[in-house]
């Protein structure tokens, strides 16, 4: 069985790494022959994060993908991340369908809102239903949460399955924290998502006055967080787990909008895998990941955020109890070990 993975990025791209690429070793052990062809190189992502021109990388990526598609019929199945060509009509997906090339498409965010809620009327008109077309022609749509799955059902997709975003439990361990140090409230993310922390800026300032606590943001944008008392640390795949292991509490503030409802709560899964209690905004999948009062707290406003963090900062036993419950939840539902056999069966089913 030969499968061609058309990911958006290589390993440097979080969505590609956790939604597709981390399954490869397990799938290969089950007999799959896998080729990976990212649309954009890691150099593209580096230029994106450093605000450099990306036009050459984009053209090169599209050209590489065109060449790859000429060999699509050599494969039993294509495993596609989101879409074949961003900001272009779904012509390639339609062509694959006409040629009888089966493809599975994966979504871990509400990409369709990038088009149907775009500020440009032209984009909304031309591409507003593009992702619905991609979903409709797919043999299988794999969605990271119910919000995304419901869109696929509305698009009359042939088959829709929910597979959450997961972590490899062999990488994520519970660390023993050293005593006699300030407690650490931590966040992990990217330059583009740093602005969510501004939602709780006054909460951070208040708690810094009342507790011996550090607020740490891994992978955040220093400029975006200017004026907020948060320490910013660099992100890398090699050190992300160690960074989370130094936290005592993990946080995920979000605003409530259609885009955020499509998120898959990956950082919450990471925190819980490391045995941390969590505090999160009650938006989208966060409501399923966080069992309020059991493995963490859902905080709807500044008062809720202060109250939740005060309780956790002041109660070591509660932190341990909630962290233990969170890790158990990840092991059962949100781990690579639990979901890889399911993914294997879904891909096999797409060939039947």
- Domains annotated for the chain, with CATH where assigned, are 2-166+336-350 (3.40.50.2000), 183-333 (3.40.50.2000)
Contact 84, 91 (CB under 8 A): no
Identify which of 250, 219, 256, 258 has the alpha carbon closest to the alpha carbon of residue 109: 258
SS3 295: coil
Residue 6, pLDDT score? 99
Q: Which band of pLDDT confidence, cut at 50, 70 and 90, is reported for residue 146?
A: very high
Examine the pLDDT at 276 and tell me if it is beyond 80.
Answer: yes
pTM score, two decimals? Answer: 0.95
The average pLDDT across 278-301 equals: 98
Provide the strand spans (E) within 117-222.
140-143, 160-162, 183-188, 213-218
Q: Which two tokens stand for residue 346?
A: 């879904």
Per-residue pLDDT reduced to its tens digit, 102-118: 999 999 999 999 999 99
Handedness of CA 94, 98, 101, 105 (dihedral sign): positive
Q: 301: buried, middle or exposed (CB in 10 Å: 19+, 13-18, 0-12)?
A: exposed
């Amino acid at each position: 069985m030969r499968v061609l993975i058309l990911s958006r990025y290589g390993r440097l791209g979080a969505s590609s790494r956790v939604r597709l690429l981390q399954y490869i070793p397990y799938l290969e052990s089950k007999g799959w022959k896998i080729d990976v062809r990212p649309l954009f190189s890691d150099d593209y992502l580096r230029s994106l994060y450093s605000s450099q021109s990306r036009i050459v990388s984009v053209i090169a990526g599209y050209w590489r993908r065109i060449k790859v598609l000429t060999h699509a019929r050599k494969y039993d199945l294509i495993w596609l991340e989101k879409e074949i060509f961003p900001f272009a009509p779904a012509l390639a997906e339609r062509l694959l369908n006409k040629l009888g090339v089966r493809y599975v498409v994966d979504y871990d965010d509400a990409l369709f809102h990038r088009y149907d809620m775009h500020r440009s009327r032209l984009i909304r008109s031309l591409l507003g239903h593009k992702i619905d077309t991609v979903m409709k022609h797919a043999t299988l749509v794999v969605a990271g949460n119910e919000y995304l799955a419901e869109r696929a059902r509305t698009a009359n997709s042939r088959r829709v399955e929910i597979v959450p975003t997961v972590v490899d439990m062999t990488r994520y361990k519970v660390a023993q924290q050293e005593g006699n140090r300030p407690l650490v409230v931590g966040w992990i993310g990217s330059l583009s998502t740093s602005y969510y922390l501004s939602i709780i800026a006054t909460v951070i300032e208040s708690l810094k006055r009342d507790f011996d606590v550090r607020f740490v943001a891994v992978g955040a944008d220093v400029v975006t967080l200017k004026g907020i008392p948060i320490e910013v640390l660099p992100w890398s795949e090699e050190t992300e787990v160690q960074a989370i292991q130094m936290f005592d509490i993990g946080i995920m503030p979000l605003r409530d909008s259609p885009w955020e409802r499509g998120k898959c709560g990956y950082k919450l899964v990471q925190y819980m895998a490391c045995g941390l209690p969590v505090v999160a905004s009650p938006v989208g999948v966060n409501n399923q990941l966080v069992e309020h009062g059991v493995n963490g707290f859902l905080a709807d406003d500044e008062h809720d955020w202060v109250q939740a963090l005060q309780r956790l900062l002041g109660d070591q036993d509660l932190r341990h109890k909630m962290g233990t419950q969170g890790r158990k939840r990840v092991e059962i539902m949100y781990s690579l070990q639990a979901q890889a056999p399911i993914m294997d069966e879904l891909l096999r089913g797409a060939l039947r």
